Chain A
Amino acid sequence: MTNSVKEIAGADFILAIGTNTTETHPVLSLQIRQAVKKGATLVVADPRRTELAVLAETHIQQRPGSDLALLNAMAHVIIAEDLWNREFVQSRTEGFEEVKAAVANCTPEWAAEITGVPAETIRQVARGYATSPRSTILYTMGITQHICGTDNVLAIANLALLTGQIGRESTGVNPLRGQNNVQGACDMGALPNVYPGYQPVADGAVREKFERAWGVPLSPNPGLTVGEMMDAAHHGSLKGMYIIGENPVLSDPHQQHVREALEHLEFLVVQDIFLTETAQLADVVLPAASFAEKDGTFANTERRVQRVRKAVESPGLALPDWQIFARVANAMGYPFNYSGPEAIMAEIAALTPQYGGITYPRLEGDGLQWPCPSHDHPGTRFLHGEKFTRGLGKFHAVSHIPPAEVPDTEYPLMLSTGRRLMHYHTGTMTRRARGLAEFYPSEHLEVHPEDALRYGIKDGDLVRVTSRRGQIEIQARVTEMVQPGLVFTSFHFWEAAINALTNTARDPKAKIPELKVCAVKLERVG
């Protein structure tokens, strides 16, 4: 997030697009409720009528995969109606003319055809966003899990740059991160193209810094993303994999492809707290400590680094992950000598500019929000206040493309996937948490009443849902939460492993799979 969680409550206008916030970020959603209570306008853009959508003044129920048309049309309205912030655009940005040209034809009427959203609604939302004193945009995977995911985000950034709704309190471009330390994993260089602190591996000076610190030559070539790793394992060019605390067999698109890829490896090591569906494929499984059994830090969605504290001992021989890595490195002839997580943080701070001022004593209390470059720096509540990281904020001309796979006569429905309040990711933890498992023991597929009628499906019927890649059987829930032509479920349940069906088509820039749209057909079982 460019801004902080508590700032959301101070916004006058909130556009929540592609985020089912009350289910996926329940406590953060309280800030949205506070804002609404204080009189803020809430606009929710989501193909499903989520709980948040019900709370909104306007629910834009766009067709899945049409976000870019919607966002570009908003930019069109803001420019056409002269609602853009001249001073901000002139002093803080570059590339305005390119975007102006790119959205010139993106009229609300044009977007209405693609999105199914009335042109007048698009106009009103654009006006509200541009003219409110403090407008903020919140989004999650509904925006990013598309083949145009990066462009969707850039289109959001264009709106913020056009209107100057960034770099101030309660404004900004705010992706809500889905996992406890997904922000931190990115910060720590668990990405193929950057070292910790988003320092590019292809940058010679950066590489030299890390080579000096670590005393070995480092590869200048950016590595593979998760999806590309699966492809490479499938081809056979990738031979060995070390998977830590992830369950790609359930979480990644096209389950059969993932399974085959992992089975094709010469050697697979999985390190986890449970024998997950992925761990079952491993040659060696290493038992790790859970969050309650180790010290360390997590970075949350607002870049706040907070202390994780050990409360209990691990079962049996299980060890904190960092200790396992140290043992592997030592056995491979590269000594990892750390007295503990605090010593690792010292190395992180030395090599990661954003974490430069972070030490454990300073994290007592409220933690620190990066960038925190020095020991006397108080941390940063919101980004881009004086200037953007790159200097001027850059507009990017982006244009709508349809999803990689759209419904046709054989597969006439769209499938989208997401999360439920009571469960988390592939269910390894929540399905072993007594109360949650008892209250929400099984999954269902949301089907619109019109489609239910068309396919002769009643609420509670067992249905078979099939894509070009696979099929599952699952109970139908007939509900108007989804729009006609759309079916939806979560990926929490192995018994209904929806990623058997999803598409591996990826965004060419971020390499994120298009989990939010694929074409399926539906039939009643029996």
Chain B
Amino acid sequence: MSTVTLTIDGIKVTVPEGTTVLEAARQAGIAIPTLCHDPELSAPGACRLCVVEIQNMRNLPASCVTTAAEGMVVSTCSETVVEARRTILELLLANHPEDCLTCAKSGECALQDYAYQYGVRKAGFAGERHDYPLDESNPFIVRDLNKCILCGKCVRACDEIQGRTVINFAFRGFATKVATPMDLPLGESDCVFCGSCISVCPVGALTPKQMLGTGRVWEMRKVRTICPYCGTGCTIELNVKDGKVVGITSTPEGTVNGRALCVKGRFGYNFIHHPDRLTAPLIKQPDGSFREADWDEAIALVAEKFGAIKTAHGSDALAVMASARCTNEDNFLANKLARAVFGTNNIDHCARL
């Protein structure tokens, strides 16, 4: 593969032909801010935050859609570039609620981070502000279009990751917004609530409803594990606070799924701490009701009864139904229990159902 060599902030960088200036800079460890860019999605070059200065080029090109060329000399942090970025951020903040104190996204909001980084304290422009009602029409996703910066990542994720195009840009100019067909609430659209849009939203415009008020992002411990539903084996991150799973997020590092999840995988976790969970062994009483027992009593009873059946009727009078929901290690021991302890090959599970 042919390569090109360019200079970025005085560093010589060699990259494969076709690489964008943004990618080349990142390869060299130089950070360029982006809002609309995503390595897994197409690049519209919309937000202009990634502008850089390139010798012999007019204006400031967006690095995410500018292809690196041989001999290019790029400056990613010249005064002009920084001033341009600051202006873009001021323009965005001019129509953005200043409610970071209560915003669920605070702490992992790209707009907040860049405003901090570029020292943009207040919007430099006064003008009209959006006042859209919240879309809380469904139990999964809250849409606050007042916080939307129109980066279009959700539109592209819905189209390019999910192949659904439930949302797109509607209206024009200042009235432009991301909308469903006929501008219906999400709950009345064809949305299947996979939440891919949430996973790419850089600001607080799209948030998981069930996680609202459960804690700040920096309080969450993320534990990487595998989804408990179908056999695809998607990687999920359990968001844990104070010993409770309060949400599920996806990660670009998901082996099978990347950031994609389905509605069950992303939002179907409340059963974990449900009050119906069994918390003690139960022993049935003669009247048919259950009473709670401790482990010693329950295990002794199980061992005694199974042992008695084995003695009286032989091993094949016992059977184990193992579980497709349990781990390999659980199932291996269930298999060993049936064959080596009960002495029977009567073990099966719901693979046929």
Known interface pairs A297-B328, A308-B327; A284-B298 also in contact (CB < 8 Å): yes
Whether A224 contacts B256 by the Cβ 8 Å rule is no
Kindly list chain B residues whose C-beta atoms are within 8 Å of the C-beta of A301.
231-233
Interface residues of B in 206-230 (CB under 8 A from A): 209-210, 221, 223-230
Q: How far is the CB of A200 from chain B (nearest CB, A)?
A: 10
CB neighbours of A116 from chain B (8 A): none
A401-428, CB under 8 A of B: which get 1 and which 0? 0000000000000000000011111001
Q: Are A187 and B328 in contact (CB under 8 A)?
A: yes
- Chain B residues closer than 8 Å to A287, beta-carbon distance: 277-282
Q: Which residue of chain A is the closest to B269 with respect to CB atoms?
A: A433
Interface of B (DSSP majority class): mixed
**CA A507 to CA B321, docked complex, whole Å:** 19
Q: Tell me the minimal C-beta distance from A211 to chain B in angstroms.
A: 9
- Among A177, A237, A296, residue most surrounded by chain B Cβ atoms (within 10 Å): A296
Whether A246 contacts B323 in the complex (CB less than 8 A), given A292-B245, A318-B278, comes out as yes
* Residue pair B139, A434 in contact (C-beta under 8 Å): yes
User: Do the beta carbons of A291 and B223 come within 8 Å of each other?
Assistant: no
Whether a CB of chain B sits under 8 angstroms from the CB of A315 is yes
Give bound CA distance, A434 to B209, whole Å. Answer: 11
B273 interface residue (CB < 8 Å to A) = yes
With A192-B347, A332-B303 known as contacts, the answer to whether A244 contacts B320 (CB < 8 A) is yes
B348 touches A308 (CB 8 A): no
CB-nearest residue of chain A relative to B345?
Answer: A223
Taking CB atoms, residues of chain A closer than 8 Å to B336 are 214, 325, 329, 336
Q: Are B255 and A304 touching (Cβ within 8 A)?
A: yes
What is the total of A-B residue contacts with beta carbons within 8 Å?
A: 469
In the bound complex, do residue B272 and residue A292 qualify as a contact, i.e. CB atoms below 8 Å apart? yes
The count of residues in chain A whose C-beta lies closer than 8 Å to any C-beta of chain B is 148
> Is A238 touching B317 in the complex (CB atoms < 8 A)?
yes
Min CB–CB distance B255 → chain A (angstroms)? 4
- Which of B4-12, B124-132, B307-315 is the contact stretch? B307-315
Tell me which residues across on chain A come within 8 A of B277, comparing CB atoms.
Answer: 273-274, 287, 290, 315-316, 318
* 4 extra A-B contacts, CB within 8 A, seeds A328-B302, A430-B264, A432-B271: A24-B230, A30-B162, A179-B325, A311-B240
What would be 20 A-B contacts, judged by CB atoms less than 8 Å apart?
A: A184-B331, A216-B343, A223-B338, A223-B345, A240-B319, A251-B350, A269-B302, A284-B284, A285-B281, A287-B278, A298-B233, A304-B233, A306-B255, A312-B240, A315-B277, A329-B341, A331-B302, A422-B264, A433-B269, A436-B264
Binding site for B on A (CB under 8 A): 5-6, 24-28, 30, 33-34, 36-37, 144-145, 176-193, 195-196, 201, 210, 214-216, 218-219, 221-227, 229, 232-233, 237-246, 248, 251-252, 266-267, 269, 272-275, 279, 282-288, 290-294, 296-302, 304-313, 315-322, 324-329, 331-332, 334, 336, 338, 341, 344-345, 347-348, 365-367, 421-425, 428-430, 432-436, 438-439, 510-513, 515
